[in-house]
Structure 1
Amino acid sequence: MSLPRLGALVAVLTFLADQAVKAWVLYVFRLQDRPPVRVAPLFELVLVWNRGISYGLFQQHEDWGRYGLVAVSVVASVGLAIWLRRARHWALAVALGLLIGGALGNALDRVLYGAVADFVLLYWIPVFPYVFNVGDSAIVAGVALILYDSLVVEPKARPSSPEGMSSADREPMA
């Protein structure tokens, strides 16, 4: 499978998983009708409608702000898809697919509901509890994989000594 196809597959699977879990949380489990549900000592399910971006920053209560965030997500996804076409390693292809799928899943929430449905609350950061969803998790994993690709994969792919460089890569001697 080509790397762009791998990334596209990851994007589609991420988008579908994000939307399927949100549909289950909203329409089957009906989390909006329940108090917070403790799953484990540091893990609760609680529904929060995020009208902003990450960590609830830049809350948008008007339609123009909501659709502005949708537009930013779509434009970013198009840019990531262009980058995906140039991916040279599986880690970058998967990372970009995770980012695209997560961004588009959250964008669809903004279109359908006016806000992003967040429902996973972890208390592992006691002073700053963060409520998130599957799409948010995919975005964080995608960023981590891009860092891995940039810091581990790419340096290994570059020649480290003049002996490993082609004549076109060497600077001319003065």
Structure 2
Amino acid sequence: MRLAGLVALGVFLLDQASKYAVIHAMELHRRLAIDVWPPFLNFRMAWNQGVNFGLFSGEDAATKWILIAVSLAISAWVWMWSRKEAHSLYVQVSAGLMIGGALGNVLDRLLYGAVADFLNMSCCGFSNPFSFNVADISIFAGALGLALFSGRPAQKRGKTP
């Protein structure tokens, strides 16, 4: 379980450091757009008050607090579930990815009132209108990892399958 905690901390710190650098050091919140390696990688400032793709966004303060509570509840559930029994290395890493990303977005909601999204990637004639952040990538990868690997029991050390 220590691994999940270390992964969560690492993701949380990387997410917050990237947001600080882009928002404050590069002043993306004023510039709104920076072409890094068009069209593959661009910075486009977006303040997401909802969940993925802006779903459930609104100006209502209750929405913000509901999303914070849901994120914290899911993070706590994943943490407790992953501690219950021995899980594989992949499940521990996946749990850490999901928790670290969720907590990074929770802190954004507390600091800014919305989640700071800034990564925008397009390719091969497809122009992506959406922005995302490190926490979003981590949440997606963690959820995918939990779906793929959570049904497998952890291997005992020193034993071969």
Same fold judged by TM-score > 0.5?
yes
Amino acid at match of 1:145: G
Q: Aligned pairs, how many? A: 152
Q: Distance in 2 between matches of 1:108 and 1:136?
A: 13
Q: Structure 1: 5+ residue runs without aligned partners?
A: 158-174
Secondary structure (helix, strand or coil) at the match of 2:116 reads strand
Give the counterpart of 1:55 among 47, 53, 60. 53
- CA shift for structure 1 position 87: 4.4
Q: Distance in 1 between matches of 2:105 and 2:90?
A: 23
2:144 corresponds to: 144
- Deviation string for 1:64-84 (max 9, x for gaps)? 110110011111110010112
TM-score (normalizing by structure 1): 0.80
User: Is 1:103 matched with 2:99?
Assistant: no
1:28 corresponds to: 25
Q: Distance in 2 between matches of 1:110 and 1:23?
A: 14
Q: Structure 2: 5+ residue runs without aligned partners?
A: 156-161
1:116 corresponds to: 115
Q: What's the RMSD between the two structures over aligned residues? A: 2.0
Highest CA radius of gyration, 1 or 2?
1
Secondary structure (helix, strand or coil) at the match of 2:102 reads helix
Secondary structure (helix, strand or coil) at the match of 1:39 reads strand
TM-score (normalizing by structure 2): 0.86
Amino acid at match of 1:144: L
Identity %: 40
Amino acid at match of 1:138: S
Asked whether the 8 Å contact 1:52–1:60 carries over to 2, the reply is yes
1:68 corresponds to: 66
- Deviation string for 1:71-102 (max 9, x for gaps)? 11111110010112034100000001000000
